[in-house]
Structure 1
Amino acid sequence: MHLTEVAAPIEQRVLLIIHDPLVGAQRSQSLHSALGWNDPDELANQYCADVATASHGLVQYRIVERVLVDAFPAKLDGFNYTAQHYLDCWHSRSGFHQPDAVDYMRLIQRFNILQRVHAGAIDEVWLMAFPYAGYYESIMGGPDAFWCNAPPLTNTGAAGRRFVIMGFNYERGPGEMLENLGHRTESIMAHVFAQAPTAHNLWERFTRHERTHPGRAECGNVHFAPNSERDYEWGSRRPVQCSADSWLNFPQLGGAARAMNCIDWGGGDIRAHHLWWLQRLPHTTGSSAQVSHNWWDYIMRPELVTV
């Protein structure tokens, strides 16, 4: 039973930039169509819906601008794929350019991202492209930006507040998009509780699983379900005593543990597990020890995190 009072909704304004170049002799097909990959707009819409579900309706994404780019983004060393070179690399699964990293500052400057964040026109950016585009799954910019599953972007203080750039791959699906969000969550919440004494570190408690705390599993983390014995093992039927459902009633965490296994979080499906995990993040009103009981505040508004 879900007993907590859900906090006020968060409207999150997004700049969506899709790199989906035209390919082929006649340049008649987009890259995603030519290779049979997912439609990037459908993925974006599904992600919006999934995050709303995961946050109990709290996070309402709104794509305020969509930019479709008929080009391959430049790498940090200035390299650009041509369509044929990229297709040759993909079909042979070899020859991809190294270093792979994209030139974030070139993208930031081209799309006036710092100015838009500062003006309040956008809150975050989604970059959507192909495998080997060179994106991090998430990266943070702005004043006093910190690790967000990637080193912070420097020289971005003009944004006036912290913001996150997500990197999505339309060769993959909605589950992998939620995984990116999960790692963003892990980075930000670890920072929120970085100075908390162990006895009061609710993030450490939330992420307990059987391998780290035998007999006292709670929600685990993105890679480790409560009963996982190795990375990405979301499909184990091994039962463990687990208190994960208590988090649905946060801050009341006194619920009894029960035997749980993968049937509780989707039977091994990546998307189902990540939705299950994200739904258990605290999302209610109030605060304790100067930390909001609504962790989505920090995940969506990293400027609220004390550094």
Structure 2
Amino acid sequence: MLDWLLNWGNRPKAGAQPTIVRGDRPGVPIPLNVALIVHDPPIPERGNLPLSKVMGWYDPEVLAAQYIADLRICSGGIADYRIVVRRTFTDFPVKIDGFRYNSATYLAAWERRIPFHQPDEADYERLLAEIGLGDAIDRGEIDEIWLFGFPYAGYYESRMIGPAAFWCNAPPLHIPAARRYIVMGFNVERDVGCMLENFGHRVESIMTYVYRHHPAERNLWTRFTRLDECGNVHFAPSSTRDYDWGNPRRVESRADAWYQFPDLSAPPRLMDCAEWGNGDMRLHHLWWLDHLPRVAGETDGVLNNWWHYILQPWVVQ
């Protein structure tokens, strides 16, 4: 059972505990400084309360603390995130075409089911200029930006910024910066399981890029994501469709072998969804992330600690 998870304040639902945990692969922490940016406009029509309070959504600080703890545990202590800057903005972000919601237009779309504005994408260049942390990023004082906002704020789940930025579950944004960095986008209507999903898609993008030149027979990332190994963010080994993490059918999987990486000779065994949380999104994603290699050395020109690339996009060649 994932006892380390059950001891946390935000416990998963009963019956959703995997049966295997491998906390025996600790790694050297990678300290990462984060700027936590919140968009939470006041709503005059509701007593000037912040939008998140009006809607009864999650507290960004609580979500961030859970996310940091989850990633630290499932990375074996490697992901050592620290929030060093906190800023709250009371404006709605401007969309890529110049549109900006106000309280009345947003409430109309949300409460009366009037269609939300399209295009939904926020103007990232303007957004980052308004946040104003470019110099701190260039000096290495900030490694990532985490955006917390409301549904239809226009955030990408993750986006890579800077020179030679590449696809990271969103189109790269090539604007001047001293190095590549990632802006994560989180929706305070959703819980930490969805935040881990955002991170999981970031993993998929970065590791696909890392292995882009490897032929199929030597592409260990492709092997990792096979359904008879560890699967991917949307597909557990027993899944037959997207998000089918709770499918109870028993299947043969070589997922255990990845705990002995780079030795992948361990035989498969029968598994079912009890291994990864009986359909619980958060627990599946923790199980999946916990299988990522995090040991010393390299194999075929790629470090055996994949977290090195996932957490530090500026080192990816």
TM tier, shorter chain?
A: over 0.9
2:209 to 161, 171, 191: 191
| Aligned partner of residue 255 in structure 1, secondary structure | coil
In structure 2, what is the Cα distance between the partners aligned to 1:82 and 1:251? 53
Q: C-alpha offsets along residues 146-198 of structure 1, whole Å, 9 cap, x if unaligned?
A: 000011002x2x31211010010000110100000000000000000011122
1:160 to 171, 175, 178: 178
- CA contact 2:192–2:282 (8 Å) conserved in 1: yes
TM-score, normalised relative to structure 1: 0.93
In structure 2, what is the Cα distance between the partners aligned to 1:4 and 1:304? 26
CA distance change for structure 1 residues 128 and 106 in 2, over 3 Å: closer, same or farther?
same
- CA contact 1:19–1:71 (8 Å) conserved in 2: yes
In structure 2, what is the Cα distance between the partners aligned to 1:95 and 1:237? 38
- Which residue does the alignment assign to 1:43? 63
- Which residue does the alignment assign to 2:254? 243
Deviation at 1:115, TM superposition (A): 2.1
The alignment yields a C-alpha RMSD, in angstroms, of 1.5
Determine if the alignment matches structure 1 residue 179 to structure 2 residue 190. no
- Which residue does the alignment assign to 1:255? 266
- CA contact 2:66–2:192 (8 Å) conserved in 1: yes
Q: What one-letter code is carried by the residue in structure 2 that aligns with 1:131? A: P
Determine if the alignment matches structure 1 residue 265 to structure 2 residue 276. yes
Deviation at 1:6, TM superposition (A): 3.5
1:120-139 matched pairs, under 5 angstroms: 120-139=140-159
Determine if the alignment matches structure 1 residue 19 to structure 2 residue 39. yes
In structure 2, what is the Cα distance between the partners aligned to 1:300 and 1:73? 27
In structure 1, what is the Cα distance between the partners aligned to 2:104 and 2:316? 45
Determine if the alignment matches structure 1 residue 69 to structure 2 residue 89. yes
| Aligned partner of residue 53 in structure 2, secondary structure | helix
Deviation at 1:46, TM superposition (A): 0.7
- CA contact 1:47–1:174 (8 Å) conserved in 2: yes
Q: C-alpha offsets along residues 195-227 of structure 1, whole Å, 9 cap, x if unaligned?
A: 112221110110001xxxxxxx00000011111
Moved more, 267-276 or 105-114: 105-114
Aligned length: 297
In structure 2, what is the Cα distance between the partners aligned to 1:292 and 1:114? 30
- Which residue does the alignment assign to 1:214? none
- CA contact 1:52–1:60 (8 Å) conserved in 2: yes
Determine if the alignment matches structure 1 residue 86 to structure 2 residue 106. yes
- Which residue does the alignment assign to 2:15? none
| Aligned partner of residue 140 in structure 1, secondary structure | strand
- Which residue does the alignment assign to 2:115? 95
TM-score, normalised relative to structure 2: 0.90
- Which residue does the alignment assign to 2:133? 113
- Which residue does the alignment assign to 1:140? 160
| Aligned partner of residue 45 in structure 2, secondary structure | coil
- Which residue does the alignment assign to 1:202? 220
Runs ≥4 in structure 1, deviation > 6 angstroms?
A: none
Work out the percentage of aligned pairs sharing the same amino acid: 51
- CA contact 2:28–2:77 (8 Å) conserved in 1: no
Deviation at 1:116, TM superposition (A): 2.0
Q: What one-letter code is carried by the residue in structure 2 that aligns with 1:72? A: F
- Which residue does the alignment assign to 1:304? 315
Deviation at 1:26, TM superposition (A): 6.3
- CA contact 1:2–1:249 (8 Å) conserved in 2: no
Q: C-alpha offsets along residues 243-288 of structure 1, whole Å, 9 cap, x if unaligned?
A: 1121122112222211011110000000000000000001111112
- Which residue does the alignment assign to 2:296? 285
Q: Which runs of 5+ in 2 are unaligned?
A: 1-20
- CA contact 1:4–1:284 (8 Å) conserved in 2: no
| Aligned partner of residue 159 in structure 1, secondary structure | coil
Moved more, 170-179 or 18-27: 18-27
Q: Which runs of 5+ in 1 are unaligned?
A: 210-216
Deviation at 1:298, TM superposition (A): 0.5
CA distance change for structure 1 residues 27 and 73 in 2, over 3 Å: closer, same or farther?
farther
Q: What one-letter code is carried by the residue in structure 2 that aligns with 1:38? A: Y
